[in-house]
Structure 1
Amino acid sequence: MSDYIWFEGIPFPAIGYEKKIIEESRDKFVIRDEDTVILTYPKSGTNWLIEIVCLIQTKGNPKWIQSVPVWERSPWIETQNGYAMLINKEGPCLMSSHLPIHLFPKSFFRSKAKVIYVFRNPRDVLVSGYFFWDKSNLIKMPESLETYFEWFLKGNVPYGSWFEHTCAWLSMRERDNFLVLSYEDMKKSTRGTIEKICDFLGKKLEPDELDMVLKYSSFQAMKEKNVSNFSLIIKDVIINGLALMRKGVAGDWKNHFTVAQAETFDKVFQEKMAGFPPGLFPWK
């Protein structure tokens, strides 16, 4: 299995990434006022949100999402392939990123581009990440969930510390061009979330168009579609059947954490996220 590429203290998967691209995307890539960015920490509902935004753009027509892979509809700023696609694109672009705030393109902070940031219960992020990376050849995997648990709390996982990533990006939440969503609220009220995204993007959809967005962005619809579930990804990245979409539920961590792990995580969470209002985190 591959080890990491480290850039300014952040570990990235060794396949599909280059230090030069990450640096260029931060210092030279231009995010324009008319662009939209899907921003998350890994395993937080990224591809689900991309699907929703793409369907909003087509007023619920599924033709685009059924024919073009998700990584081409919303290329990743920091990856080799995604960066190459984006620097050649014209007009309003939809793009994705897991980058922490200090490595994100500097041009964004001078723009009116819209960012949608989704965060998820980090306990579920940890479990989902463990089972995802275990099926890939992208990183060096630990021997057990117990070891990965320790790595996660230390930030020695792809894209670094969840706590640092989330704290930094949530500091942007009062900006007009920055929409914050939680995965748990998306699950609880998907239609309401879609309407909120429409308002943020300035898109007006009719009730039947909203129904179509809801239908074609469902977990089952995405899981069955190879342009959304990453089953088209190159074979040397996959071992043991990569599953981008495993369960799509909230609270699965309870099936995997020991009592001691749950207590340890709670303590770390309280320490790291102490500055935020309690109601910000819907899983509490």
Structure 2
Amino acid sequence: MLAKGKYHFGPITNEDEIVTDTLSEDMKVEHLIVDEFETRIDFLNNGVLPDPRIMIPQIQTMDVFDDDIFICAFMKCGTHWLWEMVQMIVNGKAEYFSKAKECCTMEFHLPDEYSDFQRPRIFNSHFTPKCLPKQAYEKKCKLIIIERNPKDIITSQYHHWKLLFPQIALPWSDFLKSVYTNDRNINSNWFFYRKKWSDFLSSSNNPCLVLRYEDIKQKTLQSLFTLSDFLGYPREETFLKEIQEKCSLDKMRDMEKLRESGTDIINSDQVSKLYRKGAVGDWKNHFTVAQNEQFETLLEKKMNGEQVNFTYEL
């Protein structure tokens, strides 16, 4: 059970949209949906997350600076990894931030909690474009979007679930079924999330950089050069190699144990354990042949003819 947090969650009303996610025959989870954003009600009741009925409108209307940076990704796409790289590039020091990236995860905080942050502020989020601050678009803030092959995303999500809820036995097949049957227009539905960002990128005039997790993994130094140039902080190769070393999986896993998690929803030890394998192709250790065929059929249907060459193994 999570400890009582600092946020107040108001009563549910008839105007609120509540959905029940059936994870297995014995487990059902209630969610509150606000503007394409879905939150578990038990997290809200514990006060570890802000009430989205208050948070989302405040974020959408919050003041931003034109040098604010937004890292946007579906969950389990390497946000921790990239956020650490970006803050090192921007600050010009290959030193870990005093808190984990959750301190700047927009869905974990109310906007006034960022008032004392040093500029440029480096935010990260799993929001769809609709939930981000309107001023981020008006002021042409820089956006970095991370993509990853969906099979590894699902696999990593499953292990994330087991880490957060070790007391709940959720078979892989039940988890996979819950993913396949999630057809809600929310940020936790990868197909919906990706379409919203694809539509945004095709029409936005914001400076946007799209990176793929597999490319960062395979060509880390080249990706760091790309990042530094995009951000307007060109750095020497020696410095970028130092960042590459500091942001290795093992070093980041060990480092997370030693600093504040940045939020009540997860502690430092749990953040550390989120760095599990970081591998490309781990999905093959989980998907059966039949499950893979089922996913391929679903992917073809949902992508509606869009040709996306995901990298499923290296």
**Do these two structures clear the TM 0.5 threshold for a shared fold by scoring above it?**
yes
After TM superposition, list the pairs within 5 Å mapping 1:83-102 onto structure 2: 83-89=111-117, 91-102=119-130
The answer on 1:256 being equivalent to 2:286 is: yes
Match in the other structure for 1:79:
108
After TM superposition, list the pairs within 5 Å mapping 1:186-225 onto structure 2: 186-225=216-255
Equivalent position SS for 1:257: coil
CA pair 165-230 structure 1, distance change in 2 beyond 3 A: farther
Match in the other structure for 2:15:
none
Q: In the TM superposition, what is the alpha-carbon distance from 1:7 to its structure 2 partner?
A: 2.1
CA pair 58-232 structure 1, distance change in 2 beyond 3 A: closer
Match in the other structure for 1:147:
174
Q: 1:35 aligns with which of 65, 68, 73?
A: 68
The answer to whether the Cα contact below 8 Å between 2:69 and 2:142 also exists between their aligned partners in 1 is yes
The answer to whether the Cα contact below 8 Å between 1:37 and 1:114 also exists between their aligned partners in 2 is yes
Equivalent position SS for 1:170: helix
Deviations 1:144-163 (A, max 9, x none): 21111122123379832101
Counterpart residue identity of residue 61, structure 1:
A
Partner Cα separation in structure 2 for residue 31 and residue 109 of structure 1 = 10
Deviations 1:189-231 (A, max 9, x none): 1111111111110111112111111111111110111268877
Q: 1:163 aligns with which of 186, 191, 210?
A: 191
Partner Cα separation in structure 2 for residue 48 and residue 200 of structure 1 = 17
Percent of matched pairs sharing the same residue: 26
Q: In the TM superposition, what is the alpha-carbon distance from 1:98 to its structure 2 partner?
A: 0.5
Partner Cα separation in structure 1 for residue 258 and residue 179 of structure 2 = 27
Partner Cα separation in structure 1 for residue 83 and residue 150 of structure 2 = 20
CA pair 135-229 structure 1, distance change in 2 beyond 3 A: farther
Match in the other structure for 1:52:
85
Match in the other structure for 1:67:
98
The answer on 1:12 being equivalent to 2:39 is: yes
Equivalent position SS for 1:171: helix
Q: Which moved more, 1:183-192 or 1:30-39?
A: 30-39
Equivalent position SS for 1:278: coil
CA pair 25-124 structure 1, distance change in 2 beyond 3 A: farther
Equivalent position SS for 2:75: coil
CA pair 117-109 structure 1, distance change in 2 beyond 3 A: same
Equivalent position SS for 2:107: coil
Counterpart residue identity of residue 42, structure 1:
M
CA pair 148-229 structure 1, distance change in 2 beyond 3 A: farther
Q: In the TM superposition, what is the alpha-carbon distance from 1:42 to its structure 2 partner?
A: 0.7
Structure 2 unaligned regions, length at least 5: 2-28
| Aligned pairs, number | 275
The answer to whether the Cα contact below 8 Å between 2:84 and 2:97 also exists between their aligned partners in 1 is no
What TM-score results when the alignment is normalised by the length of structure 2?
A: 0.77
Q: In the TM superposition, what is the alpha-carbon distance from 1:29 to its structure 2 partner?
A: 1.5
Which structure is higher in RCO with an 8 Å CA cutoff and minimum separation 6?
1
Q: In the TM superposition, what is the alpha-carbon distance from 1:275 to its structure 2 partner?
A: 4.5
Partner Cα separation in structure 2 for residue 230 and residue 46 of structure 1 = 17
Partner Cα separation in structure 1 for residue 274 and residue 128 of structure 2 = 22
